[in-house]
């Protein structure tokens, strides 16, 4: 009787191990979707620069837009009154500038000075 009980327990344990190895496993598949953002351009006049917040406000044909310039490549140092072109993308509701170029041709001022001299000749 003891021998039959040992054989039964050995058989029961063997079946338990075999069925746990054949049990279906759940595989988790993670899919990562990447949305490609397209760069946009905006031209206008710089109305404000906040170096502490690293933002720049530009007034253009479509109104004022404020850009985060913390990671932007600046072609030249922009200041209020400069005409600029900003390449940017929208991320989490913010306009993130990737490049800022200052257009120096539109703000060039030319000053001409004319001096009149009298020619005094004696006759």
Cα–Cα distance for residue pair 54/41, rounded to 1 Å: 19
Domain residues for 73? 40-103
Q: Closest by alpha carbon to 60, among 41, 49, 50, 45? A: 45
Is 56 inside any structural domain?
A: yes
pLDDT at 44: 95
Residues of the chain with pLDDT under 70: 17-36, 106-123
pLDDT at 110: 45
Is 71 inside any structural domain?
A: yes
Domain count, the chain: 1
Query: Whole-prediction pTM value?
Result: 0.55
pLDDT at 75: 77
Chain centroid to Cα 85, Å, comes to 16
Q: Which residues contact 113 (CB under 8 A, 6 or more apart)?
A: none
pLDDT at 54: 92
pLDDT at 108: 43
Q: What is the chain's alpha carbon radius of gyration, rounded to the nearest angstrom?
A: 37
Is 18 inside any structural domain?
A: no
Q: Which residues contact 37 (CB under 8 A, 6 or more apart)?
A: 89, 90, 91
Is 57 inside any structural domain?
A: yes
Q: What is the CATH number of the domain that holds 62?
A: 2.40.50.140
Is 58 inside any structural domain?
A: yes
- CB-CB contact of 90 with 96 (8 Å): yes
């Amino acid at each position: 009787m003891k021998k039959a009980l040992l054989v039964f327990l050995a058989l029961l344990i063997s079946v338990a191990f075999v069925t746990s190895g054949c049990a279906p496993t759940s595989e988790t598949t993670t899919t990562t979707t990447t949305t490609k953002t397209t760069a946009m351009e905006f031209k206008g006049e710089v109305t404000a620069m906040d170096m502490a917040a690293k933002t720049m406000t530009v007034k253009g044909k479509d109104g004022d837009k404020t850009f985060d310039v913390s990671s932007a490549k600046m072609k030249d140092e922009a200041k209020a009154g400069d005409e600029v072109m900003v390449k940017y993308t929208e991320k989490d509701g913010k306009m993130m500038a990737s490049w800022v170029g200052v257009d120096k041709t539109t703000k060039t001022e030319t000053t001409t000075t004319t001096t009149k001299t009298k020619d005094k000749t004696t006759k």
